[in-house]
Amino acid sequence: MRITIGRKIFAVACILLLLMLCSALLSTWKLRQASSEADAVAHNFMPLANRISNIQALLLQQEILVQRILHDFDATKVHGQTIDEHLVEFEGYGARVDEEIAEAVKLAEMALASVGDDMGRLEMVQVVSLIQNLEQQHQEIHDLVLRTVDAHRAGKSEALDLLIDLFDTAQSGFDDLVSSLVNEVLDFSRRSALHVDSHERLVLTFNIVATAIAVLLGLVFAAVLTRSVVRPVHALRDGTRAIETGDLSQDIPVTTNDEIADLTRAFNRMQEGLRASGRTKAMFGKYLDPRVVEAMLAEDQEQQSLVAGENKQVTVFFSDIAGFTPIGERLSSVGVVRLINEYLSLASAPIVENRGVIDKYIGDEVMAFWCEPFVDAGNEASLACRAALAQFDQLDVLRQRLPAVTGLRRDLPEVHIRVGLASGEALVGSIGSDYARNFTVMGDTVNLGSRLESANKVYGTRILMCEQTRIAAGDAVETREIDVITVAGKSEPMRVFELLSLAGDLSAAHAAARAAFETALAAYRARDWAAAEAGFTACLDHDRDDGPARVFLERVKSLSAIPPSDDWDGVWRLHEKGNL
């Protein structure tokens, strides 16, 4: 059964009301008991005590009157009245005593009916019995008085003396009985009043305890309800915060069967959707740079304009394995795939670490670029240079893994790579048809980067860059000028540079080789063939593996044997990609 939050709150309210109602009913019942006992004291016991006091007063007057009669038998009149007149008065007091006794009996019986405990009932039964005895003894005294008067009138002196003695004895016992009855009623009234007072204090204590219990139970029920509502809300809050930090790993358990459970299930479905979206993004991130994916999914106008395509200052990066075809011929198809995958993984890591965008893989070739908004303006060239140099560190890792990757234990292939860097303006955006599109860069800068990567095999270099890349990289790198060339598709000559190292990392031998090469290159351009040959030879003395020095020595020999025309400008023309 579905228990909504509203039902929970209503149930708690009903429980609290029920507790308060029970407390009120019990308090009312106890108060009624106390009130009934107080009413019994007020309407029964106190009037009964008053009746007994009245009886005692009347009996005292009657006793005084009898004493006058008994002590003044010889007088014609007693205190101005005859004996018969005193007897009439005596009879009047007796009648009033009988009336008071009758009323006292009624009050005692009513008090007996109102007493709730057995001990009180027993005491009231004794009181009723004493009142009935009082009535009986009063009647006996009344009869003795009349008999005594009759004996006096008949002259029976002996009988008179005996009756007077009996009267004195009966009167004394009767006085004791009245006193005992008065004391008994007063004591019982006092105890009843104390009991009522104790009962009232008990009712007050009961009310306090019942209220405290009701409050405590109310707090417990409220705490349970609050916990049942707040705990899953806190879980939802924590889950939301986790999502804000990118943590989508934890589902929130559904612990209730109310609206919060619906929210929790919806939250878990949303989180699963986000995980699925994350998996999709991660999967597409292997085909397309994640930042490009975010730009495509973004609603920001600037990001959308990037996807739509716009001209930007970029640095383009091309690299591939030198002489890969003969290497592939020595390997099985599985070995070729494993080698390419291993190489591309290692070669891509420096690009990603330096915030480059990997454009595509073309066989063993890697194409990447740097531009805004992926990197800050002005940092494109320096980051591309860092990635290019770091690739050669990764090449050492690849060479160590070749036995495991290729399955060869001997005659391992020599793996070398070449890199070309070019900077300039290019179109950046999502380019393609309605059927397939690619986020890429297009333009002369891209073509130049590809040509420079191929030009490495002409000069025996590892990394070639155009002059604009050299200027943009600034003091962050160590380079040397290699030549002034034209490439296929471009007629304007350009200066090209070899990237040697990061600033401050160039060894003394390579620094000396660079200085000798720069001196020889100046002599070469001045047509001082002998000085140029000496300079390039000196360069080889510092670095015998220097490829450009060997290339220029061959050129110097050819040009010294067959000098160029007078209009020779020193520009070397690469008419086809990678060929002289």
List all residues 6 or more positions away from 42 whose beta carbon is below 8 Å from its beta carbon: none
Question: Which residue intervals of 117-156 are DSSP H helices?
Answer: 118-154
Nearest-angstrom CA–CA distance, 125 and 376: 110
Mean pLDDT of the 317-321 span: 94
> Is-contact 424 444, C-beta < 8 A?
yes
Residue 579's pLDDT band (cuts 50, 70, 90): very low
Nearest-angstrom CA–CA distance, 86 and 93: 10
Nearest-angstrom CA–CA distance, 463 and 453: 7
Class of domain 31-199: mainly alpha
Give the pair of three-digit tokens for residue 231.
């705990």
Torsion of CA 26, 27, 30, 32, to 10 degrees: -110
Q: What is the DSSP letter of 205?
A: H
Q: Work out the mean pLDDT of the chain and round it to a whole number.
A: 80
| DSSP line for 403-441 | HHHH--SSSPPP-EEEEEEEEEEEEEEEEE-SS-EEEEE
> Is-contact 439 429, C-beta < 8 A?
yes
- What is this structure's pTM? 0.57
Please report the pLDDT score of residue 118 as a whole number: 61
> Is-contact 473 381, C-beta < 8 A?
yes
The three-state secondary structure class of 356 is: coil
H helix or E strand, kind and range, residue 381: helix 380-406
Give the pair of three-digit tokens for residue 532.
């140029």
H helix or E strand, kind and range, residue 41: none
| 83-92, 180-189, 415-424 — most confident range | 415-424
> Is-contact 339 401, C-beta < 8 A?
no
Q: What is the pLDDT of residues 121-173, one digit of tens each?
A: 676 777 777 777 777 777 777 777 777 777 776 766 666 667 667 667 776 77
Give the pair of three-digit tokens for residue 517.
């090469």
Look at 44-53, 78-87, 208-217, 308-317 and tell me which has the smallest mean pLDDT.
78-87
Mean pLDDT of the 215-241 span: 74
To the nearest 10 degrees (0 to 180), the angle between helices 157-244 and 259-285 is 20
Q: What is the pLDDT of residues 95-107, one digit of tens each?
A: 888 887 887 777 7
Please report the pLDDT score of residue 367 as a whole number: 95
Nearest-angstrom CA–CA distance, 494 and 444: 13
Mean pLDDT of the 357-384 span: 92
Domain covering 303-505 assigned CATH 3.30.70.1230 in the classification: yes
What percentage of the chain carries pLDDT values higher than 90? Answer: 32
Please report the pLDDT score of residue 576 as a whole number: 47
**Bridge-based pairing state of the strands 494-502 and 477-486:** antiparallel
Q: What is the pLDDT of residues 32-86, one digit of tens each?
A: 766 666 665 566 666 777 777 777 777 777 777 777 666 665 555 555 567 677 7
Nearest-angstrom CA–CA distance, 482 and 286: 37
List all residues 6 or more positions away from 377 whose beta carbon is below 8 Å from its beta carbon: 313
> Is-contact 467 496, C-beta < 8 A?
yes
- Among the listed residues 130, 97, 96, 127, the one whose alpha carbon sits nearest the alpha carbon of residue 110: 127
The widest CA-to-CA distance across the chain, in whole angstroms, is 201
Residue 310 confidence (pLDDT) above 60: yes
Q: Bridge partners of 417?
A: 321
The three-state secondary structure class of 251 is: coil
